[in-house]
Chain A
Amino acid sequence: MSRLTAAGIGVTYDGVPVVVGVDLVVGPGEWVAIIGPNGAGKTSLLRALAGTIAHGGVVAVDGVEVSALPRRAVARRIALVAQRPVLPDGMVVSDYVLLGRTPHLGYLAVESDRDVEIALGALDRLAAGGLASRRLGSLSGGERQRVVLARALAQQADILLLDEPTTSLDVGHAQQVLELVDELRLERRMAVVAAIHDLTLAAQYADRLMLLAGGRVVAEGTPEQVLTEEEVAGFSGAHVSIVRGPGGEVVVVPRRR
Chain B
Amino acid sequence: MSRIVVAVSGAVLLAAAAAAILIGPAALSPGAVFKEVLSHVPFVHIDSGLDPRQSAIVWELRVPRMVLAALVGATLSLAGGAYQGVFRNPLADPYLLGVAAGAGLGATVAIVSVGSGSALVPVAAFVGAIGAVAAAYSLGSAAGGQRSGATLILAGVAVAAFLTAAQTFVQQQNADSIREVYSWILGRLGTAGWSEVALMTPYAVVSVTVIMVHRRLLDVLSVGEEEARALGVRPERVRAAVVVAATVGTAGAVAVSGLIGFVGIVVPHVVRLMVGASYRAILPLSIVCGSAFLVIADLIARSALGPAEIPIGVITAFVGGPFFLVVLRTSRRGVM
A222 to B299: give the CA distance in the assembly, Å.
Answer: 75
Please report which residues of chain A, range 75-109, place their CB below 8 angstroms from some CB of chain B when the two chains form the complex.
75-76, 78-80, 82, 85-92, 95-96, 99-100, 102-103, 105, 107-109
Nearest A residue (CB) for B233: A102
Q: How many A-B residue pairs have CB under 8 A?
A: 84
Query: CB-defined interface of B195-211 with A at 8 Å, one 1/0 digit per residue?
Result: 00000000000000000
Main SS at interface, chain B: loop
Q: Are A95 and B334 in contact (CB under 8 A)?
A: no
- With beta carbons under 8 angstroms apart, the residue of B213, B276, B336 that contacts A135 is B276
Q: How far is the CA of A89 from the CA of B90 in the complex (A)?
A: 13
CB distance from B54 to the nearest CB of A (A): 47
Given known contacts A88-B223, A90-B333, is B276 in contact with A102 (CB within 8 Å)? no
Could you tell me the distance in whole angstroms from the C-beta of A123 to the nearest C-beta in chain B? 16
Q: Which of B194-248 contact A (CB under 8 A)?
A: 213-214, 216-217, 219-220, 222-224, 226-227, 229-234
Known: A88-B223, A90-B276, A108-B213. A137 touches B231 (CB 8 A): no
Bound-state Cα–Cα, A176 to B280, Å? 33
Q: Contact: A86 with B232, CB < 8 Å?
A: no
Whether the Cβ atoms of B223 and A89 lie closer than 8 Å is no
A89 touches B334 (CB 8 A): yes
Question: Chain B: which residue is nearest A46 at the CB level?
Answer: B230
Do residues B222 and A74 form an inter-chain contact, with CB atoms below 8 A?
no
Q: Which of the listed residues B229, B232, B272, B277 has the most CB atoms from chain A within 10 Å of its own CB?
A: B232
CB distance from B237 to the nearest CB of A (A): 9
Bound: A102/B277 CA distance, A: 18
B227 engages A82 (CB within 8 Å): yes
**B residues less than 8 Å from A71 (CB atoms):** 229, 232-234
A92 near B230 with CB under 8 A, answer no
Q: Min CB distance, A45 to chain B, in Å?
A: 14
Of all chain B residues, the one with the shortest Cβ separation from A110 is: B216
What's the minimum C-beta distance from B272 to chain A, rounded to whole angstroms? Answer: 7
* Nearest CB of chain A from residue B3's CB, rounded to whole Å: 14
B177 at the interface (CB under 8 A from A): no
**Looking at the complex, which one of A74, A87, A110, A137 makes contact with B232 (CB distance below 8 Å)?**
A74
Report yes or no: B232 in contact with A89, Cβ–Cβ below 8 A.
no
Closest Cβ–Cβ distance, residue A154 to chain B (whole Å):
10
A residues 106-123 in Cβ contact with B at 8 Å: 107-111
> Within 8 Å CB of A126, what residues of B?
none
Q: How far apart are the CA atoms of A96 and B224 in the complex, in Å?
A: 13
Residue B55 CB within 8 A of the other chain: no
Q: Is B278 an interface residue (CB 8 A)?
A: yes
Nearest residue in B to A95 (C-beta to C-beta)? B278
Shortest distance in angstroms between B56's beta carbon and chain A's nearest beta carbon? 43
A56 to B202 CA separation, bound complex (whole angstroms) = 47
Which residue from B217, B222, B229, B234 sits with its C-beta under 8 Å from A91? B222
Contact B227 A103 (CB under 8 A): no
With A88-B222, A88-B336 given, is the CB distance from A80 to B277 under 8 Å?
A: no
CA distance A74 to B234 in the complex (A): 13
Contact A75 B230 (CB under 8 A): yes
Contact of B278 among A74, A80, A87, A91 (CB under 8 A): A91
Count of chain A residues near B, Cβ 8 A: 38
- B217 → chain A, closest Cβ, in Å? 8
Measured CB to CB, the nearest residue on chain B to A50 is B230
A108, closest chain B residue (CB): B213
Query: A197 in the interface, Cβ–Cβ < 8 Å?
Result: no
Q: Which of A108, A111, A137 contacts B334 (CB 8 A)?
A: A137
Q: Indicate if the CB atoms of B226 and A52 lie closer than 8 Å.
A: yes
Is B280 touching A89 in the complex (CB atoms < 8 A)? Answer: no
**A52 and B230 contact, CB distance less than 8 A:** yes
- B interface footprint on A45-69 (CB within 8 Å = 1, 0 otherwise): 0010011100000000000000000
Q: Which residues of A contact B227 (CB under 8 A)?
A: 80, 82, 85-86
Q: Which of A51, A70, A95 has the most CB of B within 10 A?
A: A95
* Docked CA distance A88–B232 (Å): 19
Contact A92 B334 (CB under 8 A): no
Q: Give the distance in Å from the alpha carbon of A73 to the alpha carbon of B232 in the complex.
A: 7
A102 to B336, CA, bound (A): 22
Q: Is there contact, CB below 8 Å, between A76 and B333?
A: no
Nearest CB in chain A to that of B230: its residue: A80
Q: Are B231 and A91 in contact (CB under 8 A)?
A: no
- In the complex, the chain A residue whose C-beta lies closest to that of B234 is A71
A85–B276 touching, CB < 8 Å? no
Q: How far is the CA of A135 from the CA of B272 in the complex (A)?
A: 13
Q: Mark B63-102, 1 if CB is under 8 A from A, else 0.
A: 0000000000000000000000000000000000000000
Q: Is the CB of B232 within 8 A of A102?
A: yes
- Minimum CB–CB distance for B162 against chain A, Å: 30
CA distance A90 to B223 in the complex (A): 12
A111-B216, A135-B333 are known; give 7 further A-B pairs, CB within 8 A: A47-B226, A86-B224, A90-B334, A95-B219, A95-B280, A99-B219, A103-B231
Q: What are the nearest 4 A-B pairs in CB distance?
A: A75-B232, A90-B277, A72-B232, A103-B232
Chain B interface (Cβ < 8 Å from any Cβ of A):
213-214, 216-217, 219-220, 222-224, 226-227, 229-234, 272, 276-278, 280, 333-334, 336
Instruction: Give A contacts to B, CB under 8 Å.
Output: 47, 50-52, 70-76, 78-80, 82, 85-92, 95-96, 99-100, 102-103, 105, 107-111, 135, 137, 155
